[in-house]
Amino acid sequence: MVFLRFSLRPNLQRDRSNDSFSNVVEKLFEVIPSVDLYTDSGPERCRTCAVVGNSGNLKGSHYGALIDFCDTIIRINKALTSGFEEDVGCRTTHHIMYPESAIDLNSTTHLILFPFKTLDLQWLPGAITNGSTITFGHSPIPSKINANKDLVLVLHPRFMKYVHEVWLNYQGNYPSSGFMALILALHICDEVKVFGFGPDKEGNIHHYFNSTDKILVNQTTEHSFKNEFKVIMKLSEIQKIEFYKGW
């Protein structure tokens, strides 16, 4: 798996950090473990993964038990389970976030940071210990979150670059965190089941836990949701993933 150490400065979002990138990374590794994971490929291993997006098409899907049955369950950003268990399940083994989407986790869940800028890496050590002095990026950022610092993983910026170039052919300013989570799962899982991606039956993209935040697909600017969804549908067509459309 392509987790740190870094040798490439990320440049996906406007970066306001004044600190040296190498210094930021060194400080990060004073707090979180530096290990290579998921290299145990072999015929004796079977890892089923559920990648659970936040699409409103999960409402009324009754996928909860199917999701919870998987070995690895990856959730994204501000995903909620409480109150939505019947549709989205209740287990989480890995939770992907960046500072602006950070939420509290329990002590058994892996936090996977997707750093879009150097400031994100500066935020992390304080956020999982005594509190970070960084409280604003592109939007307000929590100074502290509950997370097990021994279960923190950080995605290498090169992986984001690879997804943007190879999988999306540079469509959009950068990949969505949901799409990167799906491609990451393809690299570490034997079987990938995908839930909560794509528009609802009316063609809108919104979160299952907030039906008031509807965004028309053709109004997005940072990500190319249409192209991402085309790739997902192709992966389903050639049976590289099992795609569950919801509703």
Q: What is the CATH number of the domain that holds 103?
A: 3.90.1480.20
223 in catalytic set:
yes
Averaged pLDDT score across all residues of the chain: 85
Handedness of CA 49, 54, 55, 58 (dihedral sign): positive
- Structural domain range at position 190: 21-36+44-244
pLDDT at 38: 57
Taking alpha carbons only, the member of 151, 185, 177 closest to residue 70 is 185
| Domain presence at residue 123 | yes
Question: Per mean pLDDT, which range of 84-88, 148-152, 236-240 is the poorest?
Answer: 148-152
C-alpha to C-alpha distance for 159 and 181, rounded to whole angstroms: 11
Pairing assessment for the beta strands 210-216 and 242-244 based on DSSP bridges = unpaired
178 contacts 222 by C-beta, under 8 angstroms: no
Tokens of 124: 């992390």
Contact indicator for 148, 107 with CB cutoff of 8 Å: yes
Active-site hit among 95, 156, 206, 223: 223
Residue 90 lies in a domain: yes
Question: How many C-beta atoms surround the C-beta of residue 107 within 10 A?
Answer: 9
**CB-count burial class (<10 Å; 0-12, 13-18, 19+) for 120:** buried
Query: How many other β-carbons are positioned within 10 Å of the β-carbon of residue 102?
Result: 23
| pLDDT at residue 41 is higher than 70 | no
**Global pTM?**
0.85
Of all residues in the chain, the percent with pLDDT exceeding 90 is: 60
At 169, list the tokens: 């052919």
Q: How many domains does the chain have?
A: 1
What's the confidence (pLDDT) of residue 100?
Answer: 93
Cα(223)–Cα(23) distance, rounded to whole angstroms? 30
Mean pLDDT of 111-137: 91
Is the pLDDT assigned to residue 65 strictly greater than 80? yes
State the CB neighbour count (10 A cutoff) for residue 26. 12
Phi, psi (degrees; rounded to nearest 5) at 211:
-75, -5
Q: Is residue 56 included in any domain, yes or no?
A: yes
Q: In what order do the strands lie in the sheet with 48-52?
A: 152-154, 110-113, 94-97, 72-76, 48-52, 191-195, 242-244
Amino acid identity of residue 230, one-letter, is K
In this structure, which amino acid lies at residue 149?
K
In the prediction, which pLDDT does 217 show? 44
Q: What is the mean pLDDT of residues 211-223?
A: 58
C-alpha atoms less than 13 angstroms from C-alpha of 49 in its C-beta half-sphere: 24
- The reply to whether 222 falls in a domain is yes
Given the residues 94, 95, 164, 174, the one annotated as active site: 174
pLDDT above 60: residue 13: no
